[in-house]
Amino acid sequence: MSLKRILAAETPDHIDEEVTIQGWVKIRRDHGKLIFLDIRDRSGIIQVVVNPRVSEEAHSEASKIRSEFVVEITGKVNKRPENAINKDIVSGTVELEATGVKVLAKSETPPIDLTTEGYEIGEDLRLKYRYLDLRRERMQKNIRARHKIIKEIRDFLDKDGFIEVETPVLTKSTPEGARDYIVPSRLENGRFYALPQSPQQYKQLLMVAGVERYFQIARCFRDEDTRADRQPEFTQLDLEMSFVTREDVMDLNEKLLIHLVHTLMPGKKIQETPFPRLTYKEVMEKYGTDRPDLRKDKEDMDLLAFAWIIDFPFFEKTEDGKWTFTHNPFSSPRPEDMKLLMEKKDIGEILTTQYDIVLNGFEIGGGSIRNHEPEALRKVFEVMGYEDKEIEANFGHMLKAFSYGAPPHGGIAWGLDRFVDILQNETSIREVIAFAKTGEGRDLMMEAPSQVSEKQLKELGIKISK
Ligand code: ASP
């Protein structure tokens, strides 16, 4: 066609002009001789009217069109009368009067309705046909909002001297409290990589490496038991800084969170700034949970109640009576509690520098100041009952790195899926993850996990026990 394509959202700038649009047919409606088409492109919806009196040929072509066909339509942009304006669509002040209609691709009848918000459709079907499900306007909004949030995070941190560094996905098991996903090595049969539960060790090693301000939009993998709103892989904003105190890290993150809400979500109201800082003891006594929902009005979808929770116990007892960390083994105790750790005294009394950020009853992130002295880090593993040999085998690389001048450092990670989900007023993190898995960890579209060939297993030296 001769005319350059414009987007649905741009049509109001072209009143009385001839334009061409391309997109998907959301709905076709026949009204007597007139055919109405709602065309969807990445900018939104435009209504097209096909009148046989304007073009017999266009009308005959349009009469064959069905939902989700891909079409190219040329026509004249007409201003709608005041009483016909549709505020719900981006081009609601105009409609396109077709002079030419061309089918670019046909579509089978979609197995799921794409004209609604989609909540009423069985989720398995939505996940199986995710490439269709993502066409619906609500899902387009969600993935576009997610992009904007991530872009704004990147720009903000870049301006503040942070750099984004990618860290490996094939790595070694990290003690983050969950089960690892492991990947067999072909070149070294019987050995395995682990997928990172978080970039924790790498980001600390980047501090040893002199990066000083690191962040990453990082994929993390945890092989945890099935839960409705949990994904085997999820995304963190991961961040680490050198030469900082707990207050510095909290301040920076608070600024970033406020900036994101003000810039991207002007309709939302933050209940209280600076964010309240509550101790673990306080919230447990008052709310019985360490992620309280502090909203004064829980009916208001646009109210955001952030809070920091601090002063968590460092260690807790496991079922078999041993000590384990509550959050992160690499954390430092509070400066005033360091003496207890070094003397391995009153273990249950030691409080960590951990800070969690909660929003409307969800923990959306957490981090700490780290133990940058190798001797202090070693003590943590000793408290947990590790033998010297085990410490060496599991954390030797960290202790060694720290022996070459590790700066004091600390950081945080946000669960980005959850954060976006709350900002979008969504019902689950799966609504803001383009290709989400089921609660059982299945990818219904790709049909993963799946079996692999005998040949692949043989190369890996693996036998499946039936
Ligand atoms: N690595 C931690 C986590 O994934 C966060 C942090 O302490 O930075 O929860």
Question: By the 8 A CB rule, do 74 and 3 touch?
Answer: yes
Q: Does 366 contact ligand 1 (Cβ within 6 A)?
A: yes
Atom of ligand 1 at shortest range from CA of 331: 7
Q: Which domains does the chain have, with CATH numbers?
A: 8-105 (2.40.50.140), 130-312+354-372+407-432 (3.30.930.10)
Tokens representing residue 408 in the block: 């004091």
Nearest by Cα to 430 from 151, 131, 228, 180: 228
∠ CA 259-264-268 to the nearest 5 degrees? 85
Between the CA of 81 and the centroid of ligand 1 the distance, in Å, is 56
* pLDDT of 175: 67
Between the CA of 200 and the centroid of ligand 1 the distance, in Å, is 6
Q: Distance between CA 55 and CA 71 in Å, rounded?
A: 16
Amino acid in position 426: E
Q: Does 371 contact ligand 1 (Cβ within 6 A)?
A: no
**Placement of tokens 């350059």 in the chain:** 4
Atom of ligand 1 at shortest range from CA of 198: 4
Q: Distance between CA 314 and CA 246 in Å, rounded?
A: 15
Q: Identify each DSSP E strand in 273-361 by its residue range.
A: 277-279, 303-304, 306-310, 315-317, 323-325, 355-359
Between the CA of 369 and the centroid of ligand 1 the distance, in Å, is 11
Query: pLDDT means per 10 residues in the chain (466 residues)?
Result: 85 98 98 96 98 97 98 98 96 98 98 98 98 98 98 98 98 82 96 96 98 98 86 97 98 98 97 98 98 96 97 96 94 97 97 98 98 96 94 93 98 98 96 96 97 97 92
- For residue 421, the tally of other CB atoms under 10 A from its CB is 23
Q: Does 422 contact ligand 1 (Cβ within 6 A)?
A: no
Q: Distance between CA 83 and CA 101 in Å, rounded?
A: 27
Question: By the 8 A CB rule, do 12 and 44 touch?
Answer: no
Q: Which residue minimizes the CA distance to atom 4 of ligand 1?
A: 198
Q: Does 198 contact ligand 1 (Cβ within 6 A)?
A: yes
Question: By the 8 A CB rule, do 300 and 306 touch?
Answer: no
Q: Does 367 contact ligand 1 (Cβ within 6 A)?
A: yes
Q: Does 199 contact ligand 1 (Cβ within 6 A)?
A: no
* pLDDT of 428: 95
The whole-model pTM stands at 0.96
**Placement of tokens 């073009």 in the chain:** 55
* pLDDT of 229: 84
Q: Does 329 contact ligand 1 (Cβ within 6 A)?
A: no
DSSP letters spanning 274-296: SPPEEEHHHHHHHHSSSS----S
Q: Does 411 contact ligand 1 (Cβ within 6 A)?
A: yes
Question: By the 8 A CB rule, do 22 and 71 touch?
Answer: yes
**Placement of tokens 């208001």 in the chain:** 300
* pLDDT of 2: 55
Calculate the CA 465 to chain-centre distance.
36
* Span 387-429, pLDDT tens digits: 999 999 989 999 999 999 999 999 999 999 999 999 999 999 9
Question: By the 8 A CB rule, do 145 and 423 touch?
Answer: yes
Q: Which residue minimizes the CA distance to atom 7 of ligand 1?
A: 367
Question: By the 8 A CB rule, do 238 and 202 touch?
Answer: no
